[in-house]
Structure 1
Amino acid sequence: MSVLVAISLTTGVLSGIWGWVSISLGLLSWAGFLGCTSYFASPNSGLKGLAESLITNITGVFWALVIIYFSSIFSIEIIGYIATAVVAFFMCIQAKQTWLSYIPGTFIGSCATFAANGNWQLVVPSIVLGGIFGYLMKASGLWLHNKLNQRSLVTAR
């Protein structure tokens, strides 16, 4: 079995489980899939990739809340656009810090927060658990691939 097929199988099974878990816990299943996607797209894999994606996702939530806050305290619409421009700069420049270098993760967290109308209390656990599920999808797929390949090597001898 190829790595792709093994990861596809475990991703399929765990995606179904995630759907049930997220609804059971009252979380946003789509935000969890964003956390999962963020992990899969991370330039690093394993626990380092998980940490990198989750940290940047959470900073994205923070930056979205900054934009929402500044947009709400002023009645002039252009202030929201200016706040967005300034914050987008900071969302990118924070990547000077190695552990914040995954810029797409920051934007994923921000977009999830906007999509949830600023409900960060729901976005954060959804995106974090989704990221963990993403890690488990890939890790279990790699485990399955290695296990099946070990067995085929033993039987081939």
Structure 2
Amino acid sequence: MTFLIAVGISVGILAGLWAGVSVTYGLITFVGFLSWASFYAAGGKTKGLKDSLILNFSGVVWGFLIVQMAGIFGPVLGATIGLSVAVVIGAGAMCWQAHLPLLGFIPGAFIGCSAYFATNFDFKGTVIALIAGAVLGYISEQGGIRIHKVFGKK
């Protein structure tokens, strides 16, 4: 068995569990999957977990700030232009923060921001699901490693 098969088994089982648990407890299922993808996109392992947690949260904060800025700019510039200016600032900042090594995984910030917008600005629900997804990503990778050790080609 290859590692890809092993991790697929681990991800599949945990994804099914996440779908059931998240629906049962009112968590935002798709946001967990976004963060899970972020974990793997960041390279997995402990670094992928750290980068996903930090940058996904950063994106939620930027999303919140974009909404606040749009509320300030909208009455002056009009709703559409005010929102556009706020997005310009927020999107630019999500890129510029990558000058700091801790904030270097730009896609993670955009995933967090997008998740915040897609949940109709549910800050708490978004953050909880992002944390769950990143942790599930890490657990699924570790599960894949263990499955591969037992059933992999020797």
TM-score by length of 1: 0.91
> 2 CA distance for matches of 1:125 and 1:59?
14
Distance 1:24 1:72 in 2: 35
In structure 2, what is the equivalent of residue 4 of structure 1? 4
State the superposition RMSD in angstroms. Answer: 1.2
- Does residue 34 of the first structure (1) align with residue 37 of the second (2)? no
Q: Which moved more, 1:20-29 or 1:90-99?
A: 20-29
C-alpha separation between the residues in 1 aligned to 2:44 and 2:111? 18
Report the Cα distance in structure 2 between the residues aligned to 1:37 and 1:4, rounded to whole angstroms.
15
The one-letter code of the counterpart of 1:7 is V
Q: Which runs of 5+ in 1 are unaligned?
A: none
Which residue of structure 2 aligns with residue 69 of structure 1? Answer: 68
Residue 50 of structure 2: aligned partner: 51
- Residue type of the alignment partner of 1:45: G
Q: Take 1:45 and 1:113, find their aligned partners in 2: how far apart are those partners? A: 23
Count of residues in Structure 1 that have an aligned counterpart in Structure 2: 150
Q: CA deviation at 1:128?
A: 0.6
Structure 2 residue aligned with 1:21: 21
Distance across 1 between alignment mates of 2:70 and 2:89: 12
TM-score, normalising length from structure 2?
A: 0.93
Task: Please tell me whether residue 98 in structure 1 is matched to residue 97 in structure 2.
Answer: no
- Aligned-residue sequence identity (percent) comes to 35
The 4+ residue runs of structure 1 with deviation greater than 3 A are none
| CA apart distance, 1:109 | 0.2
Is 2:113 the partner of 1:110?
Answer: yes
From 86, 89, 97, the equivalent of 1:86 is 89
Contact 2:60–2:116 under 8 Å retained in 1: yes
List runs of 5+ in structure 2 lacking aligned partners.
Answer: none
Give the distance between the partners of 1:118 and 1:85, measured in 2 at CA. 18
